[in-house]
Amino acid sequence: MHNLLMNSKVLVFDLDGTLYDGTTHYDYYAKLLANEVSPDKRDSFLKDYEKIKDYDHALTIGKIYDSENDLIISLDPITLKPIQVFTWEGQLLSKDELQENYLDRINYELPYIPVGDGWWIPLVASYHYGAKDVFHCYDKTKEFMATKEFSIPYIKGLKQALEQVKDTKKLVLLTNSDREDVTRLLNLLDLNGLFHLEITDGKKPLETENHYKNIMNKFNVLPHEVVSIGDNFINEISPALKLGMHGVYITNQTSIQVSESLLVVKRLEEVFE
């Protein structure tokens, strides 16, 4: 196990995209959303979705989408303050336009959409191409994930690793998913009973810092003794670093290095090797 985890007392895990891997469910979601886009724009929607997944687009995970003005906002990775604004096509706007429109107004409520993980990529792309009222597509995707047709991508060695540290570290699950969905997924992953604390409907990123502070109080630990592990920089990593915690960020963008307190990996199993 990586020293970052070995030297900690509390490990806080996200669920979706963290305790299981793969993009099949995101692709299924994208296909449903494609039906919500007008026929003449579907090909463009699907092409942009693939470009975004391949990091060949102005929109990437970790940015904010302004759905009202169809603009993409880059954030400072620690403070999450806006630092650049792009059009959908990738044109960089001037600093004057940035300061005039976003410097002190950015938040995580509509029209602003934080693109924190893979769920948001197809949704934001569908909004760009005119889709509206599409939450039923998310519900249908979750229903698909509960069927035998969906094969959940297990993370090699995860259960064994958690069992090994359960008696020496506190394991916390902090997710935006609801209790029913969490129970189903933990059953599928065979991870039931491994967490000392399970927080569902977490309302991240708005409530992330409050959750972390409550976790530290509950287990009587200092920030540097806690590691936040997740695939959503906005939801899980930036708030942790801001509070003085450590972070493990799961991403294909492994060149990211914003702090000595942050470990960047492609797959969660890397930290257990």
User: What's 187's domain CATH number?
Assistant: 3.40.50.1000
Domains of the chain: total: 2
Residue 205 tokens, joined: 């990123």
Give the range of the structural domain holding residue 63, as residue numbers without chain letter. 24-145
What mean pLDDT comes out for the span 56-66?
91
Non-local CB neighbours of 222 within 8 Å, separated by 6+ positions: 216, 244
Among 93, 111, 145, where does a domain finish?
A: 145
CA angle (187 as vertex; 20, 136 as ends), nearest 5: 70
Tell me whether residue 179 is exposed, middle or buried, using C-beta atoms within 10 angstroms of its C-beta: 0 to 12, 13 to 18, 19 or more: exposed
Say whether pTM exceeds 0.95.
no
Q: How far apart, in whole angstroms, are the C-alpha atoms of residue 181 and residue 176?
A: 10
Q: How far apart, in whole angstroms, are the C-alpha atoms of residue 227 and residue 133?
A: 36
Mean pLDDT estimate for the chain = 90
**pLDDT value of residue 156:** 85
Q: Please indicate, yes or no, whether residues 55 and 103 belong to a single structural domain of this protein.
A: yes
**pLDDT value of residue 21:** 80
Q: How far apart, in whole angstroms, are the C-alpha atoms of residue 267 and residue 265?
A: 6
Check whether 168 has a pLDDT greater than 70.
Answer: yes
Q: How far apart, in whole angstroms, are the C-alpha atoms of residue 74 and residue 62?
A: 8
Q: Please indicate, yes or no, whether residues 38 and 53 belong to a single structural domain of this protein.
A: yes
Residue 25 tokens, joined: 């469910």
What are the pLDDT digits (tens) for 104-143?
Answer: 667 778 889 988 788 999 999 999 999 999 999 999 998 8
Q: Please indicate, yes or no, whether residues 52 and 17 belong to a single structural domain of this protein.
A: no
Q: Please indicate, yes or no, whether residues 162 and 198 belong to a single structural domain of this protein.
A: yes
What are the pLDDT digits (tens) for 257-266?
Answer: 667 889 999 8
